[in-house]
Structure formats: C-alpha cells, structure tokens
Amino acid sequence: MDIKLQRLDNCRWLVPKTGAMRVPGLIFSNDELIKRLKSDQSLVQVSNVASLPGIVGHSLAMPDIHWGYGFPIGGVAAFDLEEGIISPGGVGYDINCGCRLMTTLLTDEDVRPRIKETVSALFSDIPTGVGSTGAIRLTKSEEAKVASEGAAWAVKKGFGSIEDLDRTEDRGTLQGADPSVLSERAIKRGSDQLGTLGSGNHFLEIQSVEHIYDQDTASAFGLFKGQVTVLIHTGSRGFGHQICDDFLKEMSSYVTTHSIQLPDRQLACAPVKSSLGQRYLAAMACAANYAWANRQILMDRTEEALLKALSISPRELGMRLLYDVCHNIAKIEKHPLEGKTVKLCVHRKGATRSLPAGHPLLPAIYRNWGQPVLIPGDMGTRSYVLAGNEGAATGSFLSACHGAGRLLSRTQAVKMARGRSINRELANKGIYVQSRGRSTLKEEMPDAYKDVSQVVQVVHDAGLARKVALLKPMGVIKG
C-alpha cells in the first residue's frame, strides 16, 4: 500500500483521506525522520487507525512513530463516545507503561565517583528481568485494592508520601477501575510482580542535568544544572499484558460476530458505550493503577538503595518526585472539537499527555508552567524534560511524543552489535550499565534508536511541548 504524504510545514505531514479512511492522518515529523518511515509499515498503520468507526479529527502520529502492531507506536486517536470504539490494541499490552522522574539535592560530582557501587546497589535491590517477582506478594483482596487505588494504595502502605500523588498523572488513580471484571489469570499474574522493573526497554537510569533551556520552568520543576536525577521506565508487568490479551481475544470474537470489517485483526475493538467496551475500560484502569503503584514502590526502593550506597541521610539525598506520566492508555477526556467541548475516548499508544499552563487538570504547583513531559532517549545519549504547550490542546488531543522510537529491529541491532562490547562503549562515555538479559544490551543499544534530539525538536517546533532541560545518563540498570 503506497501512502502519499503531503508536507504542510516543517513539522507536519498530512496523510490525505483515501479508501476506507474516515479522517485524514497527521504526522508530526521533520524532513529526515519522515524519510525513514517509508521503509516500514507505520504509515499504513496510521491509515488503518483512520478507518476505525467513530474516529474524530485526525489519526495522529508523534515524531517517534514506528511500526507497531495494529496502532503504530507513537499513535494518538480520539473517538466519539456514541459512535466510536475502544481498542485494546490501541493501548498496547503494557498498559500504563510510563516514566517517573525524581530529582535529588545531589550533584554530578557527588555521585559520579561512586557510580559503580550505586548502580550495583540498585541492581541488587530492585527486581529486574523477565518474570521478575517482588518482595510484595498480594492476596486477592489486596490486589483488588491496588487495582482500584493505584499509587494511593502504595502511599497508604508507606511507599513515598501523599505529595507524590499531586505529581502523578491522574494522581496515580484512574477512575472507573473494577477488579471484578478481571480474569483469574490476570489476578494470578499480578500477585507477585508489584515493585519490579521487568525487562526489554524498561530501565532505571541515574542522570545529571546537563543543560537548561527554560530557566523559569526548570526552577519551578525543581531542576538545576549538574543535579542528579533518576528516571524509571516500566509499566503494569504481566498483569497488564494479561488484561490486554484477555480483552483482545474477546473483542476479536466480537468483531467476527458483529461483522465489523477491520484492516488488521490487532485493531479488534468494541463500541465505547457497549458493555464489552465499558468492561475493558474498567479492566484497563485496574492495570493503569497497578502500574502507578508499581512505579511508586520502585521510587521508594530507589531511595533506600541510594541512601545505602552513598551512606547519606534522606535529607542529604533530598529525593522528590518531579512527575509521573503514562504513555500507553485510553482515557475519556474533554477536548475542543468543531467549536464545542466534547468528551472523547483518546488512545495514546506510545504517546505522552501534554497539558498546557492553566489546564484545570494540572496540580497547583505546575499550573503556571504546564505539565512536565518526560522523554527518555536511549541509554547512551540523553533524555529530556519538556513542559506542555498550548499547541497540544489544539493540535494533538493534548499529546506529545514518548521517547526516541526504535530505528532498528532487535535482530538488526544484535547483528550490528556483533564483535562489539556495548558495555565498554557506554563505559567509555561515562555510563555504567548493569543488565540481566543476555541480549538486552545489544538489542537496546543506542544505535537501535532514533535521535531523540530530533524527535524532541519536532515536538518543540510544533508547539506540543517546549524544551526545559536535557539529562545525560551516568548509570543504568536494565532487565
């Protein structure tokens, strides 16, 4: 399928409405990034999403777009609540996979001389790797509370503080969660994975602030040059995977029974207002809450490990949550559409919410500045902190990118890494890494990802979010 693109300006490309598309597609990109899209199938996926019932506006893609399954990764699509659908494939298996950034009072010079011990302490204290299980074993009733309450459950159990909830998207609790709709399999898989990082592209990274772009916003976010920060990237683990799998199969049967024509079976869906659609929303909220509890617990464990490794007091460490954002989710949100404010079901599959200054959902501490938007790059280069801008309210259903986006497949990356020591290459750049999986480092090496700076620049230029600070990695743990 040949997708024709129409360049609108230096950061927007239109996919004109053709065939079964109900709306046009719109891709945020630049001249260089857009060329690479022609070699995979992500543009076809933008067009496929545009054909789903009840889609409004555009089928959107952020500049980190790459070939996913069903929806492209980096895809954003909003659906009418009466005519539209909800699709588990539009959220993904790792429901509420997201990022959490913590600031400290330490500087690069405080930590760099002890980075090896620090990374080792984190690697030993934080469960990582495939199927990693935590010290927390949940009873069925306690797991239901995690699923209903999210980060608030973790705070009640002593992980972090109540102030952290203000600094978490949706205060770490997505409303409408109903654990009674979950399968026995989902409950079983969620019983022992809370407080674990997992594997693949999930990581915990110690960083330092290398550059400040916007001093006022950085100060409001508590960031200063040379400061040590910690970024956690993980999600709802096997609990979320199982919920997605359960509902995808159920919706696959639903589309067959109701003779709904789809260009890709992975786009299996049900009307938002149907009983099945509502059950999925309730189950997905459980996984979103589980992920927020997970990152809340991991933050607490990180603090413990840093205190131990650096032999300092909590006051000296001064760890504080800057923000926690999710990037695989579907939410019922209010957006302007054709001159009215309407409620829509917004799918973000590998995209971050981006609220501009003044938005009513922002906590008071960030209301004048916009929501912190956290964009991790690959483990060898840099990550960014941005702040939500007005352009996201009018152009992207309040969304921005979520990362660098993959460039190479895992097998291509492993081939390219043959004969190289990725560990040594990173060490030469001053980045100390510990990983559990045999091929993780090769599959996740910096060459496997797009240039995050270009991705972030497109978001900045398009007015979806503005650059605030650049963070450089100095230590990483991976599953």
Partner 1 sequence: MTIKKPRYELLDHTADMGMAVNSSGLQELFKQAAAAMLDIILENPPKGKGRKIRVSLEGADLTDLMVRWLGEILYMLQGDGLVVTDIEFEHLTSVSLRAVAQTVPFKPGIHIIRHEIKAVTYHQSLVSQDGTGWKTKIIFDM
Interface residue list for partner 1 (CB under 8 A): 40, 42, 66-70, 73, 89, 92-94, 129-131, 185, 188-189, 198-200, 238, 241-242, 244-245, 248-249, 252-253, 256, 264-266, 268, 406-412, 437-439, 479
Rounded distance between C-alpha atoms, residue 288 and residue 235, angstroms:
8
- The residue among 45, 60, 8 whose CA lies nearest residue 30 is 8
**Residue from 142, 160, 436 nearest 295 by CA:** 160
Between 100 and 189, CB nearer to partner 1: 189
Closer to partner 1 by Cβ: residue 245 or 304: 245
Contact 399, 60 (CB under 8 A): yes
Going along 396-464, which residue ranges are E strands? 399-400, 432-435
Q: Which is nearer to partner 1, 206 or 268 (CB)?
A: 268
Q: Which residues contact 334 (CB under 8 A, 6 or more apart)?
A: 341, 342, 343, 344
DSSP 45-69: HHHHHHTSTTEEEEEEEEEEEEEEE
Residue 296: which of 428, 143, 442, 172 has the closest Cα?
172
For β-strands 465-478 and 6-9, DSSP reports them as: unpaired
Burial (CB count <10 Å: 0-12, 13-18, 19+), residue 463: middle
Please identify which of the residues 66, 202, 402, 460 carries the catalytic annotation.
Answer: 402
CB of 194 to partner 1, least distance (A): 16
CB of 238 to partner 1, least distance (A): 6
What's the closest the beta carbon of residue 66 comes to partner 1, in angstroms? 5
130 vs 162, which CB is nearer to partner 1? Answer: 130
Strand order in the sheet with 6-9: 6-9, 12-15, 25-28, 55-69, 71-80, 340-349, 328-337
Nearest distance from residue 479's CB to partner 1, in Å?
A: 8
Report whether 435 contacts 460 (CB < 8 A): no
Q: Report CA 145 to chain centroid distance, whole Å.
A: 23
* Residue 307 Cβ vs partner 1, minimum distance, rounded to whole Å: 29
* Residue 365 DSSP label: G
Q: Which residues contact 129 (CB under 8 A, 6 or more apart)?
A: 198, 199, 436, 437, 479
Q: How far is the CB of 73 from partner 1 (least distance, A)?
A: 6
Nearer to partner 1, 58 or 189 (CB): 189
Alpha carbon distance 297, 277 (integer Å): 30
CB of 102 to partner 1, least distance (A): 26
Query: Do 399 and 464 touch, CB atoms closer than 8 A?
Result: yes
Sole residue written with tokens 């654990």: 179
In whole angstroms, how far apart are CA 332 and each of 268, 272, 343? 19, 10, 6
Concerning whether 402 is annotated as a catalytic residue, the answer is yes
CB nearer to partner 1: give 130 or 427.
130
> Given the complex with partner 1, which of 189 and 460 has the nearer CB atom?
189
Q: Tell me whether residue 13 or residue 449 sits nearer to partner 1 (CB atom).
A: 449
- To partner 1, the closest distance from the beta carbon of 173 in angstroms equals 25
Active-site positions read 402
